[in-house]
Structure 1
């Protein structure tokens, strides 16, 4: 009640804690209204005024009683179902799910399968978070059974007041609550209704050091045993009185410490004195050896209180000589009668191939621990010393000394020189090299010749056409070098490039002139140095330029190529009454031009009617003339001569007319096209007249 009052007078929590505190205060104020059931020393309590959440109900029970009720057995459940009044929300009990395990909160022990008292189909965690447990009191079915329920639901608090006290069972047993009383489950070593009696063991003889926490030679009494120096317990050194009233073992005894039994050493003797038994504490043993053997270890040993001898048993060992080792590059073969390298051991020495022994072949170990002589050595066979070749290098590996067996010497040559002989020589077991030393010879390049139409000039440092030889090439006049001017013989025996050649200087290629011919002579290739070309023209054409050109050493011709120009005749000029019509296929009044002539009316042509310009630039005939016609003259003659002469004149005119017609027809066959006198085409004085042409 004091706790309840304290909660009401000084509330300090907020939120849910404050609500719990207020409910506890209310419960404390109304505690007189609680109904109490008491059965012996164990009592049950419940409130009949208010319902609480599980946490508040537990705080209430712990504030005024022990805790929410902890169900012990089915009898307790039956009792509660019988005496408690039915309440519609039922009662909280002290079980809650902690870490997903149903646990008795009062003892913090998990609910066992045997103690479960769930209603049918429970727990079902309906609606989730049903982590607290209620008990059905006076329910129509499942009365006294448990149900998991949400911890915030409000129900009656069912508390208990424990009957067990701190002094119950004499503090030597577990106090177990029962309806109306309690019983004691005594710890091992105790018995009686209140566990007030302790179990006793039989007394032990004087000597051990004992401790009696619960009474002389009683449960948990311990006794420790010890022996004098040199003696040891036969049994456990510590005994304890058990809950059964027996000691953990029989009491031990003291016996003299034993040391390992000793044996007489080989080639020796053993003499012992025993005080407490063979080879036990304080036993003393003395060792000695035969002639020719020496003791290795202590002469006398004593068995100590720790069961160990004061030292290791000694051995009688044969006199030893210094250990011999196999000589380098040799073999050692020994016979040992009494151990390695001891008295009478004999050792024979031999050497590997390529090595010779320097010293005795066999040694023997004497009684004084010394060998009959010094160990021999194996020395490598030597070969003649080698020198580096001229223009070369020597690189040797000496495994056993300079120029000795298995020495290998590699020969190499300077750049531009090659080795003539083996690259590597080896010194054999006979003291000879595998071959004669090589020499270094200069690398050779292919011999070069002077190029055709050229010259070759070489410098040889190590011999003709060898490494570092340089050769310069030049060409004759009119020829040029195709390739490098200078070649050098490399260390690979090759020239730096291919030898050049001398090629004739080239002039520009010439073309045949129009209306002409080209005739060339080539000595060194088409249109190259010393090539000569002659030019000629067709009939009616004349060359304008040099007849002959030559290709010079500079790659130029001696002149410009000539042209073929048409021959021209003197230009013809006419005056009336002469009319002229000309055609010029190759140019005005040039070779091939044709001119035709005729006279105006009242005149007749005296001379040729057609001239042609010839290849020699002359016309084929002279220019004709035009003369007046002869009719008036003939008329006067006829009048003078009378009628007789008329007939003669008429006949003469008729013949002349026929001859004229024949000539006209011949000219028309050659050229029917005449220029019109008014046309601006053609040369001056050359005309075309269609009317004139049609009248022919």
Structure 2
């Protein structure tokens, strides 16, 4: 029994020690603040093991470690970093004053951006960007990188050099924008990389050139012995398992040449006519993903000894669209025959929708067209702006940029890219109207991420310079009323001994201003509203808040009489007014004159528009006849 009692006491004592140990878990005070910088995360408790990260305001650089940790001793390890101002000429913005020739800059030319903001460049179609595509505004009122330039791309893309152990189709010359070059490997090799590469509008090829790697002899023999319809793929390196069935080993008056019996996607077979016959059509066909060959097999026609072979135009596969000819299922056109092309939905035809086979065996005008994927123009907010749209569409791979009108803030991505499936990478942003002006803070206070205007719900974080502490909330939120709630705090010198005020007194104010509620003294945090009579208008803020330091942080308003515009009464026909308008602003002055046949103005020679909307003219002027005119009339 005694043993059980001792064991019970020991367990209770151990639990008590654990509870006390948990209660004594060390914690650190608020991390040291930085002048011209801030830390994250913002919270009230920092237990042992907590880590804070420091960051400097734009235009300042961090000196020291960017993070501090709370150690078991209940203090922050390491030395507090500092924010040092970058060398600057006193300005904190960059003006976009230059744009590359044959290119564009975002934001637009003449716009001023703050330090740390990004500036992007883009070339027109047919030009290639030489230099950096983007830069940022840094201290010294300058952009970090020089403005790039746009170099004209002559005639599309140069076809890459031939690949070892393989072939390219076409294998020489130039590609037009949007055209593709296809690669295939020799027998016993497999393709590593993209089988198709496209000529982009900047004159470059879409992917790196592929390469052909040798297949082991065992895998190659397995490929040769494969039967049609078998689903197993002995060459896992190949990206596809599509097989095309050979038409036959021969065509009428000719033969089919194929490296293997099992022809896979991308493989090419060729045709050869017997002696005395000529090919009419394409002499090669390619195995496509559908399991069919294109172009269709040609025909071998007997040569005419008296005349050479007539020119024809070969028709190749037309992707993402439909091609129609006068002869059904034709794989070539005779001279004078016509082919028509139509793209699927979501694709745009690059070239002519109607071509004719010319005498030289070429499709006219401009060769065979092709279809390019595009996205419809992205939707924008009523107060939004979008750059980079051409004729209401955006081609796949192209980027568009978003911006908002003056007085609105962009919320979301400032750019997006049209993807190959016809959708955009990012949703369009929102344009939210600014609601609050920058709050007025104490002389020794600072705001993190300082802006001139803020949108509804946006938060402002406050801090004090070294040697001062916050009195009030460290954060305020922009309210629909146009004010920040709660009121911004004040900064008080650490250790200062003084009484915190409990009220504010409105000082000298225009007697015509009405105050609601009607009193001179307001409690801390209360709101005073100002207004004028119907015949006057208020100049200045219409509200003010009694701050924690016992002051109204606004310039008190005043009432000014509503100034009306003036209209001149009807004058005599011979009287001239300078300047001549239908209405005049208060304070505007006019002068009266007469023609050369008159002696002088009878009445005032000038008048001034008063605030009540009337000219200070007692009687209207008129023109008196001159003596010379009287003599002529006499």
- After TM superposition, the score normalised by the length of structure 1 is 0.17
Higher helix share: 1
Higher strand share: 2
- After TM superposition, the score normalised by the length of structure 2 is 0.18
Larger Rg, first or second structure (1 or 2) = 1
